[in-house]
Amino acid sequence: MSKKFLSLATAAIFFLPLGAQAGNGYIGASVGNMNYQEPGTSLHALNLTGRLGYRLASALDVEVRAAAPSSADDGNREFSLNYLAGAYLKLNWAPMRSGHFEIYLIGGGTYISAAIGPVGSSTTETDSSRSYGIGLDFFGNDKTAFSIEWMRYGDGEIGPTNLPYTVDTLTLGVVHHF
In the chain the domains, ranked by start, together with CATH numbers, are 3-177 (2.40.160.20)
Contact by Cβ (8 Å): 170, 30: no
Count of CB atoms situated within 10 Å of the CB of 49:
23
Please list, in sequence order, all residues whose beta carbon lies within 8 angstroms of the beta carbon of residue 176, skipping any fewer than 6 positions away. Answer: 26, 27, 28, 143, 144
pLDDT value of residue 4: 58
Count of CB atoms situated within 10 Å of the CB of 140:
10
The Cβ-side half-sphere exposure at 6, using a 13 Å CA radius, reads: 3
Each residue's pLDDT expressed in tens, for the chain with a length of 178 residues: 555 555 555 554 444 444 333 348 999 999 999 999 999 999 999 999 999 999 999 899 999 999 999 999 999 999 999 999 999 999 999 887 666 889 999 999 999 999 998 998 889 999 999 999 999 999 988 889 999 999 999 998 887 778 899 999 999 999 999 9
Compute the distance between CA of residue 129 and CA of residue 19 in angstroms, rounded to an integer.
Answer: 26
Count of CB atoms situated within 10 Å of the CB of 25:
16
Give the 3-state secondary structure of residue 2.
coil
